[in-house]
Amino acid sequence: MKAAAIGLAGALMGACIAHAQDLPASKGAPDTYLQACVAMGVGFWQLPGSDTCVKISGEVRADYVVTRQRTREDDFTGFTTRGQIGFDARTETDYGLLRSFFLMDAYVGPGAKTEFVVDKAFLQFGGLTAGYAHSFFGIYDLDYGNDLLQPYFGYAATTNLIAYTREFGGGFSATLALEDARGTRSDVLNFFGFPDRRPAGGAAMPDVVGNLRLDRDWGTLAIFGAAHQIRYPGPPQISGSDYGYAVGGAFGLNLPIRSGAHVVVEGTYADGASSYLGWQQIDAAYENFSGRKDLGRGWTVTGEVGMNVTPALTLNLLGSYLDYSGATTRDFVNPAAPDVRGWIAGGNAVYTVTRGLSFGLEAFYSSYRAKGGQDFFPYEEEVRGWTGVMRIRRTF
């Protein structure tokens, strides 16, 4: 099915390019010509006999990775290929723009093992967004995030949601969203004769996410927050719920020193909602006999600076830090969830050979340290090392 979709996209795009602005769909019927939708942007074409404009886009990229080895069984090198195709359909209505967007990825890994993933699938109508879309918590991952494969601490989830965005003019907007809590649900820690990590109770309410943002020519300012329910497993364990939250802010500035020059910083604090830090941990700990409970909490900060050195060469430097204190009931026999400290720093250079074809190199150093347990249950782990990436990418 994926191959058929890619073939169809290639055929349609080939026809569009070959015939430039107007392509007769049938002889002697001017109203059935395929025409460019200039008002919608580059790459949109009006479907014959319809007021809907469609854009087909995609990419093929090949990644070659060299990374650290913790044991001789770990891979030192790895190759991965991704193919992507997207369909963007837009129609102007009396009530605003009606849009549907669909994006699919195909990954080919070791041994030609192939995985198909729906990347996005949502519709928009006026200020309404519904479907499988990027979370409205944070701006860095969606609007910036100029990495190749370098990870960073920050919420980068695509999830099922329903949201409404109100535009107030002057670049100021506000969004309120209900987002699927199953993607942010974490395990909880319990002690009943031995350490026991178990799933939290099923989702009873969605995460409530909101943001305020200002988008101007000089850049973007944003604040955002999320409320998250933690349900304990229930009898014979402790029952009831706790409520976690996450808050954050970000700013991105366009620097006038050179084309594409920018700096962006995003920070997040979370209490009982570790998913919003981009590094999901145990959100809560509880003890059956005493009924004591505790939530994990921590913060992250991520930054990036980049510019176009030449029209063809782009450089980016990225860094990210996490500080997380695990949940514990502070009982001398009850182990604490791990405290985690981590940081990542690196950079990349991307050279565009011709429009749509680029070569990229990236290197980054990462360090993660987890320390938990207490008394009878000490726990400590540390992982650090370099990773290098080369990417060849073709977009259309």
Nearest CA to 212 among 253, 257, 172? 172
Cβ atoms within 10 Å of 116's Cβ, excluding its own: 11
3-state secondary structure of 106: strand
The answer to which of 37-51, 105-119, 368-382 has the lowest mean pLDDT is: 368-382
DSSP letter at 110 equals: G
Confidence label for 263 from pLDDT (cuts 50, 70 and 90)? very high
DSSP letter at 48 equals: T
338-361 pLDDT, tens digit per residue, is 889 999 999 999 999 999 999 999
Provide CATH code, domain 127-395: 2.40.160
First to last CA, the chain: 20
Q: How far is CA 168 from CA 54, 171, 209, 331, in A?
A: 28, 7, 19, 51
Domain ranges of the chain: 127-395
Instruction: Provide the whole-model pTM.
Output: 0.85
103, HSE (Cβ side, Cα atoms, 13 Å): 16
Q: Who has greater pLDDT, 59 or 19?
A: 59
DSSP assignment of 354-390, as one string?
A: ETTEEEEEEEEEEEEEEEE--TT--EEEEEEEEEEEE
The answer to which of 11-20, 326-335, 385-394 has the lowest mean pLDDT is: 11-20
CA angle in degrees (0–180, nearest 5) for 327-341-301 = 100
Pairing state of beta strands 241-254 and 45-46? unpaired
Confidence label for 327 from pLDDT (cuts 50, 70 and 90)? confident
Residues in the chain, overall count: 396
Q: How far is CA 147 from CA 140, 151, 323, in A?
A: 11, 8, 22
The answer to which of 112-121, 127-136, 291-300, 377-386 has the lowest mean pLDDT is: 377-386
